[in-house]
Chains A and B, each alone.
Chain A
Amino acid sequence: MLEVKDLTAKVAATGKEILKGVNLTVRNGEVHAIMGKNGSGKSTLSKVLVGHPDYEVTGGTAVFKGKNLFELEPEERSHAGLFLSFQSPIEVPGVSNVDFLRMACNARRKSLGQAELDPLEFYAYIVPKLEMLNMDPTFLNRNVNEGFSGGEKKRNEILQLAVLEADMAILDEIDSGLDIDALRDVAKAVNQLKSEETGVLMVTHYKRLLDYIKPDFVHIMQSGEIVKTGDMGLVDQLEAGGYATLSDREDS
């Protein structure tokens, strides 16, 4: 589904190179997790894949469902079925959540040649998704992320994932700032949304998320490269000894 080869990227403003040759393949039905220290390039990788303007791709390729990602605008990547759950989603005062979700939903539907949903149809479409995430319907009438708690913002991101019915979800630290109940709700929703046809790429610092959403592959990222790939065993090793035990980069 997603094949990243020798990807290098820098910060557009400063020219600082962050990604130094990332290789990663996610096939249909697979769940991948990326772990690594702060500043290792995990979040940059997620942002580069969805086309964040702060970063500039300097080399390598990323092919998503047969399309070259870097030839697509951010909105086209979304239409193609790629989704990023933001680490700290911004607040948009003045735009109600339901309007935002409907705009997003209809933009995707339009690109797929489907009829757009009117407000009533959309309401019927979204209510089950709210229930799945244990979210109150009053949530819809609030402005996008305005005054939301950390947990509410993350739930809202996953709600957007559910609404867009994306094929490939990149989840950038969806576990940060979540209490245990919120984490369980969010993880449950992600588990329901994934299927044999979808791919999931999680960026996280903590094992507890991976206890809820079991990854098939775990990658360790360091200084802009994936230095080690394994399964849950790698996570246990990390928990026990920290990143120092993995520093023998040559092994990977």
Chain B
Amino acid sequence: MQASIGGRCAPSVAGKRISTRVQNPYVRPASKSCRSAAVASAQTAPEDKWLARTVKEVPTPAGLATLRAESTAALATLRMPSTRNEDYRFTDITPVLRTNVQPAPAGAAVSKELVAKHALAGAVATVVVVDGVLRLELSSGLDALPGGVYVGPASGAPPAVVEKMGSLSRSRGGPFAVLNGALAPDCLVVSVGAGRELGPVHVLHLASAAPPAGDSAPASAPRSLVHLGPLSVGELVEEFVGLGPAADAGRYLTLGVTEVLLEQQAQMKHSYVQREATGAFHFKGTLVRQAERSQYSFVEAAVGGAIARHDLTIQQAGPETVTEMGHFLLCGPSQLHDLHSRLTLDHPHGTANQLHKCIVSHATGRGVFDGNVKVNQAAQKTDAGQLSRNLLLVPLATVNVKPNLQIIADDVKCTHGCAVSDLRDEELFYFRARGISAEAARQALVSSFGAEVVQRIGHPELVKRVREDVGRTLASVELFATATQA
């Protein structure tokens, strides 16, 4: 097993402007002068002030000691990004940094009935995580798992798997991933042994939004580690839900990290559904490493929260590896959704496909997409496709999209495309010609725009929950009443 994966990200590309990511780019080596993006005034500043207020010492459970030590050390010199950092150029996190956040108090009351409302019928196990804390008494199916499979806290997990914790986020995680490492109360481990098969595991992340004290907002740092042994098959469904009425815009911060390691020929389906409360800040890092001939299929639906950012980094670490990514983001009133995806192909005969779809339904909504696919010299015979489609439903709605391919290898098939538009008149007319009113047609077309991706989740009740959220967001802005007839 390779101990360090970070080293391979060092660019071997002559003349290309790629920052050397041997270390986390946000962590300033103490002795060196700061990066050019930083301004002079920050140079002499001590630690980041917001971090100094936010980071509290939290108990370290078994298995998290190394991660905690590394993350805490990294935090000492980490500064939270501003719009001057290229990675956060369009994602202004000032509202987060102005919020006084404290780790959420553990033990928020959650009833079984409430958990049942978010059930997933096809799941073989449901893991309930409340404010980042694993709640075994609310979880189900964990004691009836097949042999060679483990789902539960780090303390009972196979040591060889626990050792891998942090191996991906250490080198490729952003500042919020580092913060997660310093605050995570535990780590959910999903381990599937060689040749084993595990049905869908539903990880239900609930945010109680119960304020810790005074005027501060609660922060939670849920963390997961997934390891699929050679030739194994697994499915993970992550659902993040804000509790309480959606109208109650309770502020809270979720800092999630999920690390996924797929060994040779492992196959994984991974769904990530973000349905946080309207006032929530949600930062998620998903870090994936795929060994040879493994297959990773990822679907995302991000419909909740006020500011939400997802950093998805996938590394094809062996030949004949297959990666599928589908994303759907909906930006309603005052919602910012940012997806940064990085896919690195380092080996021949890799296949990758990415479909990104974003709807901005309100003038105060903004979508951000930076999708990087990097095909390195060794990745000959790569077949990579990337498509970003963005639907702006009202004037002033904004997207900042940057799909980008960096191709070093010379014998590859790579395509990418990007479209920003309103609904196509042709589509609208097709419905109207069949007697369906323009308003109903717009509704059907807008919801179908996202459904193309959302359907890939496959679990009907979860798809329905997402569609209901989408319907609510679209209805709330009276989009169709004001739609122009242009």
Contact = CB atoms under 8 A, between A and B. Distances in A.
- State whether these chains interact: yes
A78 B434 contact: yes
B448 interface: yes
Nearest to B450: A94
A90 B427 contact: yes
8 contacts: A50-B433, A51-B433, A75-B434, A78-B434, A94-B448, A95-B451, A107-B434, A160-B434
Interface in B221-273: none
A86 B430 contact: yes
Given A52-B429, A53-B429, A103-B440, A92 B434 contact: no
A160 B432 CA distance: 13
Given A89-B430, A95-B444, A107 B437 contact: yes
Contacts of A73: 432, 438
Interface in B409-461: 424-427, 429-438, 440, 444-445, 447-452, 455
A107 B440 contact: yes
A75 B441 CA distance: 10
A144 to B, nearest CB: 8
A93 interface: yes
A94 B436 contact: no
A75 B433 CA distance: 6
Given A103-B440, A107-B440, A92 B427 contact: yes
Nearest to A79: B435
Most buried by B among A84, A92, A143: A92
Contacts of B436: 75, 103-104, 107
A111 interface: yes
Contact of B435 (A52, A54, A108): A108
Nearest to A78: B435
Contacts of A108: 435
A99 B451 CA distance: 13
Interface of B: 424-427, 429-438, 440, 444-445, 447-452, 455
A104 B434 contact: yes
Contact of A107 (B429, B435, B445, B449): B435
A164 B432 contact: no
Interface residues of A, number: 29
Interface in A16-73: 50-54, 73
Contacts of A111: 435
A73 B485 CA distance: 13
B448 A92 contact: yes
A164 B448 contact: no
A74 interface: yes
A94 B437 CA distance: 18
B434 A93 contact: no
Contact of B448 (A54, A75, A95, A107): A95
Nearest to A54: B425
Given A92-B445, A94-B447, A94-B451, A75 B435 contact: yes
A140 to B, nearest CB: 15
Contact of B425 (A53, A93, A94): A53
A75 B430 contact: no
A164 B436 CA distance: 11
A174 to B, nearest CB: 15
Q: Which 4 A-B pairs have the closest CB atoms?
A: A94-B448, A78-B435, A94-B451, A104-B434
B433 A84 contact: yes
B425 A75 contact: no
A75 B451 contact: no
Interface string A100-119: 10011001100100000000
A164 B445 CA distance: 20
A74 B433 contact: yes
Given A77-B433, A100-B431, A160-B434, 20 more contacts: A52-B433, A75-B433, A75-B436, A75-B437, A75-B438, A79-B435, A90-B427, A92-B430, A93-B448, A94-B447, A94-B449, A94-B452, A95-B448, A95-B451, A100-B444, A103-B436, A104-B436, A107-B437, A107-B440, A164-B435
